[in-house]
Amino acid sequence: ELLRIDHVGIAVPDLDEAIRFYQENLGLRCVHQETNDEQGVREAMLAVGDGSGPRIQLLAPARPDSAIAKFLDRGGPGLQQLAYTVADVEAAADALRARGMRLLYDSPKRGTAGSRINFVHPKDAGGVLVELVEPAEPVHRSG
């Protein structure tokens, strides 16, 4: 039920500075920004090339006790998560639970742009924090 890569998340200490770096040095385009209070992050979505593929998500801490603040304290900036698009986040989470993986939330939480999200614990996914994203807009399975 993983349909495609939705985005790759990178933890950064300063969102505005990171957006500038990616725009000026790598030519990516910032297409969305928001603060997610529940997750304690300020985030930006950057499009690559023609914008049809996966995005790069820059994640900066909004609070010192947040997941991103903890990640930065532990190892500094870098790749924090790999997110897959799914059509139904509850069904995808149930399927992964049935294969013995720990999901971080019992029920989905709100993610970027009104999406519904859950995560697989990195210790159950080969050291990678895997995010499941059900976009607000229904997913087209083909194309």
DSSP string, 84-103: EE-S-HHHHHHHHHHTTPPB
Residue 84 near residue 7 (C-beta atoms within 8 A): no
**126 touches ligand MC0 (CB under 6 A):** no
**112 touches ligand MC0 (CB under 6 A):** yes
Amino acid at position 9, single letter: G
- Residue number with CB closer to ligand MC0 (95 or 125): 125
- By CB under 6 A, what part of segment 55-84 binds ligand MC0? 57, 59, 67-68, 70-71, 80-81, 83
Residue 57 near residue 115 (C-beta atoms within 8 A): no
User: Alpha carbon 135 to chain centroid distance?
Assistant: 12
Give residues in contact with ligand MC0 (CB under 6 A). 9, 36, 39, 41, 43, 57, 59, 67-68, 70-71, 80-81, 83, 104, 111-112, 115, 117, 119, 122-123, 127, 129, 131
